[in-house]
Amino acid sequence: MTSTIDDSDKEKALSVSVDLNNDTSLLIDIPDALCERDKVKFTVHTKTTLSSFQKPDFSVPRQHEDFIWLHDALVETEDYAGLIIPPAPPKPDFESPREKMHKLGEGEATMTKEEYTKMKQELEAEYLAVFKKTVQVHEVFLQRLSSHPVLSKDRNFQIFLEYDQDLSVRRKNAKETFGSFFKNMVKSADEVIISGIKEVDDFFEQEKTFLLDYSSKIKDSTARAEKMTRSHKNIADDYIHISSTLSINNITILQHGDVKVEGRVASDQELKLTELLRYYMRDIQAAKDLLYRRARTLADYENSNKALGKARLKSKDVAAAEEQQQQCLQRFNKLSESGKRELTSFKGRRVVAFRKNLIEMAELEIKHAKVGQTGDSLSFFSSCILYVLGRERFNPTLSCVCTYS
Amino acid sequence: MAAEMEPPPLGDAGQTDFREIEDGEGFFVSTVTILESPEPSSPDPPSMPAEGISTNGPKQEDISLDDDPEDLFAEATEEVSLDSPEREPILSDGPSPAITPVTPTAMLTPRMGLGTAEMFERSLDELEEDESGDTFDMHIAVSDPEKVGDGMNAYMGYKVTTKTSMTIFSKNETTVRRRFSDFLGLHSKLASRYLHIGYIVPPAPEKSIVGMTKVKVGKEDLSSAEFVEKRRSALERYLMRTVKHPILLKDPDVMMFLESSELPRAVSTQALSGAGILRMVNKAADAVNKMTIKMNESDAWFEEKHQQFENLDLQLRKLHASVECLVCHRKELSVNTASFAKSAAMLGNSEDHTALSRALSQLAEVEEKIDQLHQDQAYADFYLFSELLGDYVRLITAVKGVFDHRMKTWSKWQDTQLLLQKKREAESKLQFANKPDKLQQAQDEIKELEGKVQQGEKDFELISKTIRKEVSRFEKERVKDFKVVIIKYLESLVQTQQQLIKYWEAFLPEAKAIA
C-alpha cells in the first residue's frame, strides 16, 4: 500500500513538534512509503545546501529499524549527553486493524453484503490512518534532528540520510540489543539513587519536580485519551451494523452520516489529541533522560571530589585525582549549560505544539458537528428515507423522503 | 392507599352488580357497573383460565359469533348507555398534576385520517368512527413510582393518569394507583379473551426477578433506579398500545383498570401460582401442537404475511442486539470521556505555563460537558430506540401467536369435519343394521356435528377476517411508531451535535490564547 503525503499532511506533521529553527539548509521529508506485510519501507528524501553532503537532492529507502539504530547511536554518543535526544518513533503498529480484519473475515458469513463492504471500508480507512500516523512520526523524528544545531551535524545522521545501501550491517545485532536492555535496567535503578542527590541549581530542581510530575500525568492522560477514541470507534462500528440492518428491514435510514461523522471524529481526535499526548509523553521521557545524565555527572563529580580528598590524605595519585575531578566538573558544567538551553527550548516547543494541536482539534470538531447539522448535506442526518406501507396493498416500493433542516 | 380490601364477591353473569370499595380514609366511593351483554348460546366456548371469570361474567368472546359487524358496535353503544347514568363521580386525589412522561407519547392523528385505507371494509370503518362519536384522544401517563411496604412483600406502586375527551369514559381525567401485577393481570384477561379470536393483544412488560428483588431489598443505587424507570416507561407504552386498539379500549377490564381506584389482586400472575403452572403446561402443549398441525393454506395472503413476520422478527431481533451494543458503547464512551476530563484537569494543574494550564483546564471542562452529552445521548438511544425495538420483538411474538390460533381453529374445524364424516359412515352402516334407537342417536349426533362443523367454519372465517384487519392495523401502527421514534432519535442526535459545536466554539478562543 503506497501512501503519498501531500503538503497538508506535512503541515500536520510539523504541528506535533514545531520546528523553531527556520533553517532551510537541510530539509527532510518522507514523500513515499510502502507497506509490505509487517514491514514499512520509508523513502527518506533530503534537500540540502550544505557542502557536507555529496548531492543537493537525494532519496534513500529506510526501514523502521534504521531509525532506531540512529536514535540509539545518538543516545550513546557522549558528546550529546547534554542534549535532549528526540524520542525514537514507535514501531508501526498494525495490530489493531489487522485484528479487526481477522474478525471481519470470520464474521463475514453472518453479515450482509452491504454491511461487509462498509465494515471493510472502515477498516481500510483505519489502516490508512495508522499508516499515515507512522509515516508522520518517523518524519517528525528526522525533522527535529535536522533542525537541531548540534545534532544535525552528526556523522551517523549523515550516514543515515545518505548511505544508499542497506544499513543493516551497521545495525545492532542481538547481543548489543540485549546489552542496551540491561543498560536501561541499570539506568532506572540509578534514577532512584540520583533523585536523592541534592540539587545545586534551582532551575534544575524546579525542572526535575515539574518533569517528574508532568510525566506521570501525561502518561495517564494519554491512556485515557486512547480509551476514549477506542470507544468512539466502537460506536462508529455499531452504527454500521445498525444502518445495514435497517436497510434490510426496508426502513432505510441513511445513517451513513452518523457513521462517517463518528468515524471521522474518532480518527481526528486520534490524530490530534492522542498523538499530541503520546508524542510529548515520549519527549518528556527524553527530557528526563537528560536530567538523569546530568545528575549522573554530578554524582560522578561528587565521587571524584571524594576520591581527590582521599588521594590528598594518602598523598598518592593526587595529580590523577585532580585531573579526574576537573574533568568531571567540566562535564557537569557543560551538561548543565546545554541542559538549561535544551529544557528551555523544549518548554517553548511544547507550548506551541499544544496550542496548535488544540486549536486544530477544536476546529475539526466544530467542522464535523456542523456538517452533521447542515440541511443541504444530503448524506447526513438531514435525509432519512423511511419505508412506509403504501396505499396499495402492502406495496413495499412506496417510500417517503423526509428531510429536515 | 396501601391496604387493599377484598371486594365483596361478585354476582354471576346476567346480573348487574355494584362493587363498593372503601379505602382506609373513607374518602372514596366508587361504583363499577358490570356489563351485561346479550348472550346467544355458544356451543363451543373457548377455554378460559380461572381468573377471567371473576370480574366479568358475560363472555365477551361471544361477540365473535356475530358475523354482523353492526352488533359488535351495538354492544359498544349499549356499554355507553349502561355506564354513564349509573356511575357516580369518582373522586380523584386532588388536581392531577401535570405529568410529563419521560418518553412523550406522540399524539396520534385522529382515526379519521385512516379512512383512506381501502383495505378496510367500508362499513366497519365507518362504524369505528361512529362508535364513540369522537376521535381517538387519550393520553395515559405512568408516573411516581413509590415503594410500598417492606421486605420481600414490598412492591412498587405506580400512578396511572388518564386524560381523555372520549365520551365512553366518565371523566376527563382519572388518576389511580396500580402495581405491576395489576398490569399483568389486565394483560392476561385481555389475552384470554381476545387472542384466540385473532386480536393482537399487546404483550405486557416482562417480569424480572432480579430487578424487583433489588428494589424490594431496598438497594438505592443507580441500577435499581434505572430498573424502575425502565419499567415505568414500559408500562406506559404498554397501556398506550392497549388503548390504541379500538376493541381493547372498550373492554370493561381496561376501563376498570384505568378508572377504578382499587383492583382485586391478580394473584394468578405470580410465576409459581396454580394458574402460572397451568400456563406453562399450556405453552408446552401448544408448542407440540404447532409442530403437528399441517395446514392447507388456501389463502396466499396468510402464507405471505406469515413469512413476512418471520423475517421481520429476525431483523428486529438483530437490530435490537445492535442497538443494545450501541447503548453499551456509548455509556463506555461517557465513562472514558469523564476519566479523560479528570486527567486533563490534573495535567493542567501540573503545567507551569499559565496560559497552557488554563487551556488544559478548559479542555477538561469541555470534555466533562461532552461526557454529560454522551450520557444523555445514551439515554435517548436506549429509551427511544432500543426499547421500541424490544417492544416490537414482543409484539411480533403476539402476532405469530395469533396466526397460530388461526391454525388451531382451522385444525379444530377439520377435526370436527372428519368426525362428522366418520359419524355419517357409521350412520349409513347402522341404516342397514336396522337398530332404530341407535340410528336415531347417530342421526342426532350427526346433526349436532353438522352444526359444529358450520360453527367451526364460521369461526375460522371470522378469525381470518379479524386477523387481516388486525395485521393491517398493526402494520400501520408499526410504521407510525417507528417513524415517530426514529425522527425523535435523529433529532436528539442533531441536538447533540449542536451542543458539541457550542462547547468547542467556546473552547477555541482559549486554545488560541495560549501564548
pLDDT in tens, chain A (405 residues): 444 444 444 444 444 444 445 567 888 888 888 887 777 888 888 888 888 888 888 888 888 888 988 898 888 888 888 888 888 888 888 777 788 788 888 877 777 777 788 778 878 877 887 888 888 888 888 988 888 888 888 888 888 888 877 766 555 554 455 555 666 666 666 566 556 666 677 888 888 888 888 888 888 888 888 888 788 778 777 777 777 666 655 444 444 445 555 555 555 665 677 778 888 888 888 888 888 888 888 888 888 888 888 888 888 778 888 888 888 888 888 888 888 888 888 888 888 888 888 888 888 878 777 765 543 233 333 333 333 222 222 222 222 223 222
Smallest Cβ–Cβ distance between A245 and the set B315, B329, B332 belongs to B315
C-alpha torsion sign, points A236, A241, A247, A253: negative
Chain B residues closer than 8 Å to A225 by CB: 340
Instruction: Please count the other Cβ atoms lying within 10 Å of the Cβ belonging to residue A383.
Output: 19
Helix (H, G, I), strand (E, B) or coil at B19: coil
Spell out the long-range contacts of B70-77 with Cβ–Cβ below 8 A and sequence spacing 24 or more. B70/B123, B70/B127, B72/B127, B73/B127, B73/B128, B73/B130, B73/B131, B75/B37, B76/B131, B76/B132, B76/B168, B76/B250, B77/B131
Q: Is B486 on the interface with A (CB under 8 A)?
A: yes
Residues from chain B that touch A249, judged by Cβ atoms under 8 A, are: 312, 315-316, 319
Residue B363: list chain A partners with CB under 8 A: 358
Instruction: Please check whether residue A286 is in contact with residue A270, taking contact to mean a CB–CB distance below 8 angstroms.
Output: no
Provide the shortest C-alpha distance from residue B386 to chain A (in Å). 11
Q: Which residues pair with A58 in a beta bridge?
A: A46
**Which of B315, B332, B352 is closest, CB to CB, to A249?**
B315
- As a whole number of angstroms, the distance between CA B508 and CA B495 comes to 20
| Dihedral over Cα of B118, B193, B159, B133: its sign | positive
All residues of chain A having their beta carbon less than 8 Å from the beta carbon of residue B119 are: 393
Three-class DSSP category at B422: helix
| Whether B336 and A231 lie within 8 Å, measured CB to CB | yes
B100: number of CA atoms within 13 Å, CB side?
A: 0
Tell me how close the Cα of A18 comes to any Cα of chain B, in angstroms.
14
Q: For B260, phi and psi rounded to 5 degrees?
A: -75, 145
Is B351 in Cβ contact with A224 (below 8 Å)? no
Q: Across the A/B interface, how many CB contacts are shorter than 8 Å?
A: 148
Contact residues, chain B, for A228 at CB < 8 Å? 333, 336-337, 340
Closest-approach residue (CA) in chain A for B321: A242
Residue whose entry in the numeric block shows the C-alpha cell 468515524: A263
Instruction: Tell me which amino acid residue A377 is.
Output: S
pTM: 0.68
Give B353's contacts in chain A (Cβ within 8 Å). Answer: 347, 351
| Direct distance between the N- and C-terminal alpha carbons of chain A, in angstroms, rounded to an integer | 40
Q: Hey, is the C-beta of B359 within 8 angstroms of any chain A C-beta?
A: yes
Q: How far is B340 from chain A (nearest CA, A)?
A: 5
> Do the Cβ atoms of B248 and B201 come closer than 8 Å?
yes
Residues 328-347, chain B, touching A (beta carbon < 8 A): 329-330, 332-333, 336-337, 339-340, 343-344, 346-347
Contact map slice: B 90-119 vs A, CB within 8 A: 116-119
The crossing angle, in degrees rounded to 10, of helices B180-194 and B252-259 is 170
**Which three-class secondary structure state does DSSP give residue A306?**
helix
Biggest distance spanned by C-alpha atoms of chain B? 119
Three-state SS at B99:
coil
CB burial class (10 A; 0-12, 13-18, 19+) of residue B378? Answer: buried
> Per-residue pLDDT for chain B (515 aa), expressed as one digit of tens each?
333 344 444 333 333 333 333 333 333 333 333 333 333 333 333 333 333 333 333 333 333 333 343 333 333 333 333 333 333 333 333 333 333 333 333 333 333 333 333 343 444 444 444 444 456 777 888 888 888 877 777 778 888 888 888 777 777 888 888 888 888 888 888 888 887 788 888 888 887 777 777 767 666 677 777 788 888 888 888 888 888 888 888 888 888 888 887 777 766 666 666 776 777 787 787 777 767 766 777 778 888 888 888 888 888 888 888 888 888 888 888 888 888 888 888 888 888 788 888 888 888 888 888 888 888 877 777 777 888 888 889 989 888 888 888 888 888 888 888 888 888 888 888 888 777 777 888 888 888 888 888 888 888 888 888 888 888 888 888 888 888 887 887 788 778 888 888 888 888 888 888 76
Pick the residue from chain B with its C-alpha nearest to A258.
Answer: B493
Nearest by CB to residue B326, choosing from A228, A235, A248, is A235
3-state secondary structure of A41: strand
Tell me the H-state helices in B293-386: 300-350, 354-380
**How many angstroms away from the CA of A133 is the closest CA of chain B?**
22
Q: Which of B399, B477, B471, B472 is nearest to B118 (CA)?
A: B472
Question: Which of A121, A97, A138, A94 lies closest to A5 in space, CA to CA?
Answer: A138
Q: Which of B118, B322, B330, B479 to mutate to test the interface with A (most CBs of A within 10 A)?
A: B322
Q: Which residues of A touch B347 (CB under 8 A)?
A: 214, 217-218, 220-221
d(CA B279, CA B136): 34
The alpha-helical segments, DSSP class H, found in B47-120 are 51-55, 69-86
3-state secondary structure of A396: coil
Ordered alpha helix ranges (H), B195-273:
209-217, 222-244, 246-250, 252-259
Distance from CA of B343 to the nearest CA of A (A): 5
Non-local CB neighbours of B281 within 8 Å, separated by 6+ positions = none
The shortest CB-CB distance from A389 to any of B316, B475, B490 is to: B475
Question: Rg for chain B (alpha carbons), in Å?
Answer: 28
Nearest-CA neighbor of B113 among B141, B89, B143, B135? B135
Helix locations, A108-201, DSSP H: 113-147, 155-162, 174-194
Give the closest-approach CA distance of A22 to chain B in angstroms: 19
Q: What is the pLDDT of residue A125?
A: 79
A41-93 pLDDT per residue, tens: 888 888 888 888 888 888 888 888 889 888 988 888 888 888 888 888 888 88
**How close is the nearest chain A Cα to the Cα of B223, in Å?**
22
The three state secondary structure string of B452-497 is HHHHHHHHHHHHHHHHHHHHHHHHHHHHHHHHHHHHHHHHHHHHHH
Q: How far is A283 from chain B (nearest CA, A)?
A: 15
Nearest CA in chain B to A206: B352
Asked if residues A258 and A271 have their Cβ atoms less than 8 Å apart, the reply is no
Contacts of B505 in chain A (CB under 8 A): 362, 366
B204 CA to centre of own chain: 5
